[in-house]
Each structure stands twice: as C-alpha cells, then as structure tokens.
Amino acid sequence: MVRRITGFSKLSKEEKIDWLVKAFFNQESITKETLKSYWNTDEKLQRLHDDFIENTISNFYLPFGVAPNFIIDGIDYTIPMVIEESSVVAAASLVGKFWSTRGGFITTILGTKKIGQVHFMYEGNTTDIEAYFNGIKSDLIESTEAITANMRKRGGGILDIELRSKTDQLANYYQLHVTFETKDSMGANFINSCLEAIAARFEKDGIQIVMSILSNYVPECLVRAEVSCKVEELIQGTSEIDPLVYAEKFKTAVAIANVEPHRAVTHNKGIMNGIDAVVLATGNDFRAIEACAHAYAVKEGSYKSLTQCEVKDGEFRFWIEIPLALGTVGGLTALHPMAKLSLELLQNPSAEELMKIIAVAGLAQNFAALRALTTTGIQKGHMKMHLMNILNQLGATNEQKEKTVKYFESIPVTHSAVHEFYKTLQ
C-alpha cells in the first residue's frame, strides 16, 4: 500500500483522520474514536490548539500537577508541573516541605544576557574585515532601531556586537556575536529579526552571509539556587542514620557525577525532570532549555553535574547554577490557557523570578533523587508511585486497587509481585 499523500495540510481535520486511519490502522472506528475523544469540547479552545501547529488531528494530554510548600527567597510558592513520570511531583512536594522548615531556597540571578549570531564567510584579510566592522558597527545597531524601539522602552535591546574570527577552526569563517537583553520575553523572534536586519546592513562584496540565528546556548543568562542547614538537621525524625555520614555520602554522590559522565547524564536528567515540568507548565521551550543545560554541563571539557555540594564546619550546602532563557510574556505563555493559569499560580513572575523558581524545581528534584539513592534506594519510592500505573494497565477495579495498595504498604512493589497479587483478587 502506498502511504504517501499530496496536499495533506489542505485537508480538513476530519479528512486528515480518515486518510490516516485507512492508511495506517487496522481498527479504523476505534482509532477515530480515540483521536476524537481527546478533542476539547469547547470548540473555541480546540481551534486555538489546532492553530498552534500544522496538521493537528487531536491533543496529547499530560498530567498537570502542583508541588506546594516551597519557600523561595522568603515567598511561599505552589509550583505547577506538567509531566508523566509518576514520582516527580511527589518528590518535589516532599522536598519543598522539607526545606520550608530549614530556611527555604535562596536564589540569585547571575546574568540575563541572550545571544544571537550572524555567521558569514570572508576570504580576504582579517585586518580588512575588522576595519570594515569597526567603521560600520554603529550603523549595524541603527539598522535595528525600528525593531528594538519597544524593547528599549522596557529596558532591553542590543547590548553589544562583536566580530569574532573562527578561521582557526573553519577556513574563512567569521561571526557577528550579538548580545541582547530581552526583559520578560524569551525573545527568539525579536533576536532573529534584529540579526537579519544587521546581516542585511553588513553585506558587501566578499562577504557571504551564511545564516542569522539566535543561540540557545546562553551561559550568561544564569541563575543560582541554594539550600543549606546544619548537618544534624538533614535527618528527619528518629532515623538511626548518622547525619554526618549521610551528608558526606550525599556529597560523594555529587562528586561522582562530576567525574563520571555515565552517572552525570542520569544525575542531570533528574534535575531536568523538575525543570522541564515547570517549563512546560508555563508555556516555555523545554527543548531549548534542555540543549542549553547539557551544553553548560560540558563547558569545562567533560560532562559534569549541574549541582554542587559542600559539607564544611558542620554546615551542609547544596546548590545549582544553570542557564535558563525564559519568558513570561509573548509566545505560548500568552496563548495557552493553562500556561497563563500556571503563571498566575506563580504570582505572575517576571522572567527573572521564573528563572529562580525553575532552578529551585531542578535543585529540589536532584535533592530528592540523591536522598533516595544514598539511603533507601531509588526504586522503593518510585515503584510505590508506579503501582497505580501497573493496576491501570491490568484493568483493576477501584476495589481491587484499594486492596492492592493496602497489601503493598509494607512490602516491595515489583511488576511480577503486583501481577501475582492481582491474580488472587480475580
């Protein structure tokens, strides 16, 4: 069967679905029913979703949860999280509450610069292109004045333009390296429009403009989040674990992630569980955030932990420094009703405030993972949360779920153990 089509984007949503189910699915009626069951019953809202991307045929829902009891710089927050992984929101909630009685999270904005580049080739002498750039630099900035007018009113705009030679890495390759301040906007469209105007003004004989595009690597758009307490305060209740032994073990776990890339990748993935969940909830670009974070993790030449830990003079300190290019105005943040709701839940933060909140979410998630790994192990809590997914896959009734949850209150949860117990209920 030929499974190619011309003019697919011009078909109605119904026609798109008809073609898809006939070409790719065996159970046409069930497939249609499934796709349509995820349409929003509010037609106006569904049309909004349809217009976000091309060829929309349905919606793909992820759970929207909240993690309460976070204190960040003395302010109480309940953090929205969009994620499908079962234990993430529970872990964040526990950590938020844990640190709320130990001074909460302290954050600092270290920088807010964004970056864009005009990439070009030039076969002439380096001193000639430098002289041309120096003579035209002010004109390059002037060429963007109409684009930057509104941004400049808000305190943003172009910060600087540098000519950078990369000819030692690629023959004849240069770039205009442009730094921006975009205030509460993530600024992608603004930056790209400026770059294209700059490129058009910079062109001359001998200069071949290759492309003009923002960079998602923004090492100077940086935030720090930290927690600290006395070592003896790290252990809750009547635990027999020695607090100093635990603190040193926790510190060693972070040290391992700084020297072993295999561990560092999983370590940082856990951080991004928390970060991506809030980035998604607020309508920001999690792919850009991911790419930037992982590039930052390798900035010293090898892939390392994004978090650091210190145990010194009876004090435990745990922190993260991470670049986050975020927006609270424009884009999906202004269009998606749930994104707007998330921002309202966060007390309508500025971009800098959102940077702080999201960095805290990543730090909290990493703290939860390392605490589990260095004490009970990661699977105990994770499988408890995963239990309901297993039961739903089995088609368990509410009564069977209640009995199963009670049965596994004090014994380890495994797929096979749940299957065996479920058989006894049948």
Confidence label for 94 from pLDDT (cuts 50, 70 and 90): very high
Instruction: Give mean pLDDT, residues 264-274.
Output: 98
Asked about 269 being catalytic, the answer comes back as yes
- Is 80 exceeded by the pLDDT of residue 425? no
Q: What is the pLDDT of residue 378?
A: 47
Q: What is the pLDDT of residue 402?
A: 76
Q: What is the pLDDT of residue 405?
A: 77
Amino acid at position 345, single letter:
L
Query: Six-digit token pair at 189?
Result: 């469209």
Instruction: Give mean pLDDT, residues 260-274.
Output: 98
pLDDT tens-digit series, residues 121-157: 999 999 999 999 999 999 999 999 999 999 999 999 9
Instruction: Give mean pLDDT, residues 185-210.
Output: 97
| CATH 3.90.770.10 is held by the domain 65-108+224-375 | yes
Residue 14, Cβ neighbours under 10 Å: how many?
Answer: 11
SS3 of 372-426:
HHCCCCHHHHHHHHHHHHHHHHHCCCHHHHHHHHHHCCCCCCCHHHHHHHHHHHC
Confidence label for 422 from pLDDT (cuts 50, 70 and 90): confident
- Is 90 exceeded by the pLDDT of residue 413? no
Task: Give residue 256's Cα distance to chain centre.
Answer: 24
Quote the pTM value: 0.88
- Is 80 exceeded by the pLDDT of residue 355? yes
Q: Taking every pair of C-alpha atoms in the chain, what is the biggest distance, in angstroms?
A: 83
Mean pLDDT over each residue of the chain, to the nearest integer: 93
Least confident among 161-165, 346-350, 395-399: 395-399
Q: How far is CA 248 from CA 129, 259, 278, 346, 406, in A?
A: 55, 17, 30, 34, 36
- Is 60 exceeded by the pLDDT of residue 385? no
Residue 416, Cβ neighbours under 10 Å: how many?
Answer: 7
- State the sign of the Cα–Cα–Cα–Cα dihedral 380, 385, 386, 390: positive
Q: 13, 49, 269, 403: which is the annotated catalytic residue?
A: 269
Four-way CATH pick for 114-215: 1.10.150.120, 3.20.20.80, 3.30.70.420, 2.40.10.10 = 3.30.70.420
Q: What is the pLDDT of residue 265?
A: 98
Confidence label for 403 from pLDDT (cuts 50, 70 and 90): confident
Half-sphere exposure of 264 toward its Cβ, with a 13 Å CA cutoff? 20
Dihedrals phi, psi of 214, to nearest 5 degrees: -65, 160
Q: 16, 267, 382, 386: which is the annotated catalytic residue?
A: 382
Q: 285, 304, 336, 356: which is the annotated catalytic residue?
A: 285
Query: Which of 352, 346, 277, 314 lies closest to 107, judged by CA?
Result: 352
Asked about 402 being catalytic, the answer comes back as no
Direct distance between the N- and C-terminal alpha carbons of the chain, in angstroms, rounded to an integer: 43
Domain boundary assignment for the chain: 8-50, 65-108+224-375, 114-215, 381-425
- CB 366 within 8 Å of CB 271: yes
What is the C-alpha radius of gyration for the chain, rounded to an integer number of angstroms?
Answer: 26
Q: What is the pLDDT of residue 2?
A: 75
Query: Six-digit token pair at 63?
Result: 């759970």
- CB 198 within 8 Å of CB 180: no
Q: How far is CA 116 from CA 214, 303, 338, 419, in A?
A: 4, 24, 30, 54
- Is 70 exceeded by the pLDDT of residue 168? yes
Chain position carrying tokens 């509410």: 398
- Is 80 exceeded by the pLDDT of residue 387? no
Asked about 49 being catalytic, the answer comes back as no
- Is 60 exceeded by the pLDDT of residue 238? no
Q: What is the pLDDT of residue 236?
A: 76
- Is 80 exceeded by the pLDDT of residue 412? no
- Is 60 exceeded by the pLDDT of residue 29? yes
Q: 85, 233, 260, 352: which is the annotated catalytic residue?
A: 85
Judged by DSSP in three states, 69 sits in: strand
Q: What is the pLDDT of residue 420?
A: 75
Alpha-carbon distance of 325 to 347, in angstroms, equals 19
Judged by DSSP in three states, 85 sits in: coil
Confidence label for 360 from pLDDT (cuts 50, 70 and 90): very high
Alpha-carbon distance of 192 to 351, in angstroms, equals 19
